[in-house]
């Protein structure tokens, strides 16, 4: 009798303890960690010097003096240096007539280099990969690029596969979000995320200024990373995902059309970057910050911002101090490092101004743009690599990633550094030279004479001799 009473007494308590343990255990296994990542660096013979860029521009017979002046201004103000990379077909002089194989070969080179290095360094076998997410926005093929990886590395038949196209520069965080959601329902898994862009079949050879601009900004690159939710590996991981927010303004016509692939008047396909792109990006950025700020910033900063905002509103209502500056939320109260998409110098400057960031905060993005250019969805990981190579990332630091993409989209997330990091990674051969004393582009020095040319007498020199 006493035993039954004791059992009746302890059974509800035991059931409650087991119930709590299941909740805690489930939450532990829902965590998303980056175990390691590998950025791609093409061979040196794919490097774009100022001289060679001039030759590529000269090969486009559809360009006139006004287009030359536009390109000169764009390149000089782009923030891009002389060590970025382009596809092989550009060096073979075939950018106006690329083949299907050019795009496939470009991706294969990236896959074989980055995935091989990543698997070797982590010691993970291809057969251990449970989830594969591949995002290459502007190259859709049959069989898919994800199937190509599965075939090359002989992944398991039950691997969960996601092949993303058309997602633009913000695609890598979309891939992370897919993995994050899968981890919520499956325990002890490995995910391989592969992100890049295929430039070979998408080089624009027309004279539409809104499309020529893409040639000036986009460069070859890519990144492969392995994520896991294995609790046993949490101390070996590099980063833990704390929060991820996606904002999509595709329902707005202006946002949808500002960044889109289309044909020009001569039916040549190119990537259009509209004049209203900054406005669309700003709106998406603001909406994204409104959602993610309460998730990542301390309560004291949110309260301070609300109080200051309310005070300013009251003053404006009473016509006092109507010209007071607009209150700004301080993201540095909850963020240690800012990993900004290298969409261009204007993008970096705009985000820096909006968040009141210092040159130290913006340095990783500026240097990545200078060294590697805009590598589309993979650019965030080159920026992260710069921070790591500079030994800025310490255990417990919080890294805020911000990316933009066609659609129009703004995606952001917050990572926590799990352990001190200091691998020089893809920056190993040049990190000691960064930041350089000057980011001045040599194009103005070599081709500045174009600004003084007369449209009536201008002709393109056959050998491009500079006076």
Asked about 53 being catalytic, the answer comes back as no
Q: For the chain, how big is the Rg over CA atoms in Å? A: 25
Annotated catalytic residue, options 259, 339, 370, 441: 370
**CB contact burial 84-110 (16+ within 10 A = b; e otherwise):** bbbbbbbeeeebeebeeebbbbbbebb
Asked about 92 being catalytic, the answer comes back as no
Annotated catalytic residue, options 248, 259, 272, 413: 248
Asked about 459 being catalytic, the answer comes back as no
Annotated catalytic residue, options 272, 337, 339, 425: 337
Element (H, E) at 214: helix 209-217
Cα separation, 71 vs 89, in Å, equals 21
- Collapsed DSSP state (helix, strand, coil) of residue 262: strand
For the CA atoms of 42, 194, 174, 226, the dihedral, rounded to the nearest 10 degrees, stands at -120
Alpha helices by DSSP H, 218-358: 253-257, 277-296, 299-317, 345-355
The answer to whether 224 touches 246, Cβ cutoff 8 Å, is no
Annotated catalytic residue, options 39, 169, 216, 223: 169
DSSP secondary structure code for residue 155 in this structure? -
Annotated catalytic residue, options 135, 272, 341, 410: 341
CB atoms within 10 A of CB 205: 21
Asked about 341 being catalytic, the answer comes back as yes
The answer to whether 92 touches 106, Cβ cutoff 8 Å, is no
Beta strands in 108-236 (DSSP E): 131-136, 160-164, 190-196, 222-228
Annotated catalytic residue, options 202, 374, 411, 425: 374
Cα separation, 364 vs 380, in Å, equals 10
For the CA atoms of 285, 79, 425, 125, the dihedral, rounded to the nearest 10 degrees, stands at 50
Sign for the CA dihedral angle at 283, 135, 415, 40 comes to: negative
* Residues known to be catalytic: 169, 248, 337, 341, 370, 374
């Amino acid at each position: 009798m006493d035993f039954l009473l004791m059992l009746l007494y302890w059974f509800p308590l035991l059931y409650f303890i087991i119930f709590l343990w299941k909740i805690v255990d489930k939450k532990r296994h829902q965590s998303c960690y980056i175990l390691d990542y590998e950025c791609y660096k093409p061979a040196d013979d794919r490097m774009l010097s100022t001289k060679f860029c001039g030759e590529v521009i000269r090969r486009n017979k559809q360009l006139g003096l006004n287009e030359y002046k536009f390109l000169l201004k764009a390149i000089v103000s782009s923030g891009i240096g002389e060590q970025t990379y382009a596809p092989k077909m550009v060096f073979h002089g075939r950018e106006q007539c690329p083949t299907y194989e050019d795009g496939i070969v470009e991706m294969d080179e990236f896959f074989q280099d980055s995935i091989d290095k990543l698997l070797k360094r982590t010691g993970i076998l291809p057969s251990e990969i449970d989830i594969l997410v591949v995002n290459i926005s502007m190259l859709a093929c049959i069989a898919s690029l994800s199937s190509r990886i599965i075939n090359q590395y002989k992944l398991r038949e039950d691997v969960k596969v996601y092949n993303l196209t058309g997602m633009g520069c913000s695609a890598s965080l979309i891939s992370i979000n897919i993995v994050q959601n899968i981890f919520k329902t499956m325990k002890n898994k490995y995910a391989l995320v592969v992100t890049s862009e295929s430039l070979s079949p998408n080089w624009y050879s027309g004279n539409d200024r809104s499309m020529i601009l893409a040639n000036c900004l986009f460069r070859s690159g890519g990144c492969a990373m392995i994520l896991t939710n294995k609790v046993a590996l949490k101390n070996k991981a590099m980063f833990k995902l704390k929060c991820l927010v996606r904002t999509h303004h595709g329902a707005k016509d202006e946002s949808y059309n500002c960044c889109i692939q289309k044909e020009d008047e001569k039916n040549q396909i190119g990537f259009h970057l509209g004049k209203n792109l900054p406005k669309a990006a700003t709106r998406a950025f603001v909406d994204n910050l409104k959602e993610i700020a309460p998730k990542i910033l301390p309560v004291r900063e949110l309260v301070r911002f609300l109080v200051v905002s309310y005070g300013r509103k009251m003053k404006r209502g009473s016509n006092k101090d109507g010209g007071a500056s607009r209150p700004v939320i301080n993201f540095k109260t909850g963020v240690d490092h800012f990993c900004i998409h290298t969409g261009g110098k204007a993008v970096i400057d705009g985000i820096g101004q909006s968040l009141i960031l210092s040159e130290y905060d913006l340095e990783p993005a500026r240097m990545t743009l200078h060294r590697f250019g805009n590598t589309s969805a993979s650019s965030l990981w080159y920026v992260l690599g710069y921070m790591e190579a500079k030994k800025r990332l310490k255990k417990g630091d919080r890294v805020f990633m911000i990316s933009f993409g066609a659609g129009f989209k703004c995606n952001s997330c917050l990572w926590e550094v799990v352990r001190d990091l200091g691998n020089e990674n893809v920056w190993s051969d040049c990190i000691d030279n960064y930041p350089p004393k000057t980011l001045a582009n040599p194009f103005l020095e070599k081709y500045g004479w174009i600004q003084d040319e007369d449209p009536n007498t201008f002709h393109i020199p056959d050998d491009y001799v500079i006076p």
